[in-house]
Amino acid sequence: MQVLDNSCHPDAKIAKHRAGDLYDLIECKYVTVKPAGQWNHVRIIVNNGHLEHWLNGRKVVETEMWTEEWKTMFANSKFKDMPGFGAARNGHIALQDHGDRVWFRNIKIRALDGEVN
């Protein structure tokens, strides 16, 4: 999920690069991001390959992972030359920055009851 100041960051001019987007793959259905300096509430849910991005109480992205459509999205993205990117079914999360200030708080990772990887 892209974390970004949509008002000031130049990447926000690019569709699929705005706050809440599945970066370079799926654009948000709704713009619900709060301005810089305010906290946003995010939920990322993956349940048996069903992925949802929630931003400030509204579902903004939804897709099925590891399908032919998923593979096609990656093949048409900036990740196409990164073998295995987006293919893992479990593992670690990563928080990445490019030198801009960003703050996170209350990060929680929970397994869903009955989840099958």
What pTM did the predictor assign? 0.89
pLDDT of residue 96: 84
pLDDT of residue 114: 62
Q: Per-residue pLDDT tens, the chain, 117 aa: give them.
A: 999 899 999 989 999 999 999 999 999 999 999 998 999 999 999 999 999 999 999 999 999 999 999 999 999 999 999 988 888 888 888 888 888 888 999 999 988 876 555
What is the 8-class DSSP label of residue 12?
G
91 to each of 19, 21, 30, 86, 103, how far by Cα in Å? Answer: 24, 21, 29, 11, 23
Residue type at 69 in one-letter notation: E
Phi, psi angle pair for 75, to nearest 5°: -65, -25
